[in-house]
């Protein structure tokens, strides 16, 4: 979601065009998206991302045109459980309540809350986004503010950070999927030929960091998760031997269980207790896309503290 939001914001800023941001303020019960979800509508009526499964978007588009015209934020509330709701609303699959804010983003307000929100997602510490509904102005604060009438206050956590150690061609699928899942991705490596080829695919994204420099690198560039995938047994062991990896939520190692034992045998200190090897969930399939799905599914489940079970066997709501 955030990658598309950033792309549309960059385009609007470059062309000095306005957007309307549709933001979910709060929800109750079962809803398609939860608080903090966003979509954008441009002046041509094009929509980027979704707030519902497509049921609300045409209705929101009409309100967005009004916001474009008068530049005043508006708040809408939908109750999907109301038996007296319009027929089009009753067709919504979820049966909860949702409160939505529509606000105009333009050069006049420096693209309002969206620019600040995306900055906050790239930060390292939580922050709070405060929007004045009367004037349509927003500010980002490092400390939680006091609530007041006419203000929308949203707590924003930084996007989770993922470090890929290795620059082989199989990193590409993980990079793209991780970005689409709103992870901040960092890539390091130390193999000259592999790095050179990687820079052709992703200019200026990867850094050359030797294994013995990993601890100092992570001190300056903290991350939440790491995947070791140099495709070199000795290098994998060297990186995994660095003490800073033990502080992460999870460290993954690609390859079969038998290879894991050979890598551990070459380490000069015990393997970290947070080591997941072989990395990934058993989803089946072959090829880089299947590997990317498998490893990101394991990280996504850990990030959201979920059991990665079939939804059909889950008690409670889908998003609970």
Report residue 70 as tokens: 């008068």
| Residue numbers of the domain that contains 220 | 161-303
105 and 165 inside one domain: no
184 and 97 inside one domain: no
Measured between alpha carbons, how far is 32 from 54 in angstroms, rounded to an integer? 10
96 and 226 inside one domain: no
CA-only gyration radius of the chain, Å: 22
Measured between alpha carbons, how far is 105 from 40 in angstroms, rounded to an integer? 10
308: left (phi over 0), alpha (psi -120 to 50) or beta: left
| Residue 317 located in a structural domain | no
171 and 255 inside one domain: yes
298 and 182 inside one domain: yes
282 and 194 inside one domain: yes
Measured between alpha carbons, how far is 292 from 207 in angstroms, rounded to an integer? 21
Question: Domain boundary at 95, 111, 127, which?
Answer: 111
Q: How far is CA 85 from CA 74, 133, 165, in A?
A: 20, 27, 53
The pLDDT profile of the chain, 320 residues, written as one tens digit per residue, is 688 899 999 999 999 999 999 999 988 877 777 888 899 999 999 999 887 766 778 888 999 999 999 988 999 988 877 666 665 554 555 667 889 999 999 999 899 889 999 999 999 899 999 988 887 788 999 999 987 788 989 999 999 999 999 999 999 999 999 999 999 999 999 999 999 999 999 999 999 999 999 999 999 999 999 999 999 999 999 999 999 999 999 999 999 999 999 999 999 999 999 999 999 999 999 999 999 999 999 999 999 999 888 888 887 766 66
| Residue 193 located in a structural domain | yes
The pTM assigned to this predicted structure is 0.86
SS3 state at 197: helix
The values of phi and psi at residue 225, to 5°, are -135, 150
173 and 107 inside one domain: no
173 and 296 inside one domain: yes
Measured between alpha carbons, how far is 64 from 44 in angstroms, rounded to an integer? 11
186 and 287 inside one domain: yes
Residue written as token pair 């470090």: 163
94 and 170 inside one domain: no
Report residue 293 as tokens: 């799905």
CATH assignment at residue 171: 3.40.50.720
Split into its structural domains, the chain has a count of 2
Nearest CA to 157 out of 136, 129, 137 is that of: 129
| Residue 197 located in a structural domain | yes
| Residue 132 located in a structural domain | no
Looking at residue 224, the DSSP 8-state letter turns out to be S
104 and 190 inside one domain: no
Question: Domain boundary at 111, 143, 171, which?
Answer: 111
Measured between alpha carbons, how far is 277 from 279 in angstroms, rounded to an integer? 5
| Residue 216 located in a structural domain | yes
CA atoms within 13 A of residue 124's CA, in its CB half-sphere: 7
| Residue 58 located in a structural domain | yes
80 and 183 inside one domain: no
Question: Domain boundary at 77, 111, 145, which?
Answer: 111
Nearest CA to 44 out of 70, 58, 65 is that of: 65
| Residue 291 located in a structural domain | yes
| Residue 120 located in a structural domain | no
């Amino acid at each position: 979601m955030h990658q598309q939001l950033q792309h549309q914001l960059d385009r609007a800023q470059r062309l000095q065009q306005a957007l309307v941001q549709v933001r979910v303020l709060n929800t109750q019960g079962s809803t398609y998206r939860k608080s903090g979800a966003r979509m954008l509508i441009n002046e041509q009526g094009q929509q980027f991302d979704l707030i519902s499964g497509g049921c609300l978007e045409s209705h929101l588009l009409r309100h967005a045109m009004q916001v474009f015209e008068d530049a005043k934020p508006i708040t809408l509330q939908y109750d999907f459980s109301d038996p007296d709701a319009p027929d089009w609303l009753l067709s919504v699959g979820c049966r909860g309540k949702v409160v939505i804010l529509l606000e105009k983003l333009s050069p006049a307000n420096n693209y309002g809350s969206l620019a600040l929100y995306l900055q906050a997602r790239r930060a390292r510490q939580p922050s709070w986004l405060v929007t004045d509904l009367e004037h349509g102005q927003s500010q980002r604060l490092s400390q939680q503010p006091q609530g007041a009438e006419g203000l929308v206050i949203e707590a924003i956590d930084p996007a989770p950070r993922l470090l890929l150690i290795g620059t082989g061609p199989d990193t590409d699928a993980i990079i793209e999927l991780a970005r689409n899942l709103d992870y901040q991705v960092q890539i390091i490596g130390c193999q000259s030929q592999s790095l050179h080829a990687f820079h052709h695919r992703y200019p200026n994204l990867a850094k050359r960091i030797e294994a013995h420099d990993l601890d100092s690198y992570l001190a300056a560039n903290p991350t939440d998760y790491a995947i070791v995938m140099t495709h070199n047994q000795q290098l994998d062991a060297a990186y995994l031997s660095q003490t800073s990896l033990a502080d992460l939520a999870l460290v993954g190692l690609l390859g079969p269980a038998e290879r894991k034992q050979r890598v551990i045998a070459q380490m000069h200190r015990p393997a970290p207790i947070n080591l997941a090897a072989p990395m990934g969930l058993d989803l089946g399939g072959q090829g880089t896309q299947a590997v990317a799905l498998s490893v990101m599914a394991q990280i996504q489940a850990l990030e959201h503290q979920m059991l990665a079970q079939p939804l059909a066997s889950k008690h409670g709501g889908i998003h609970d």
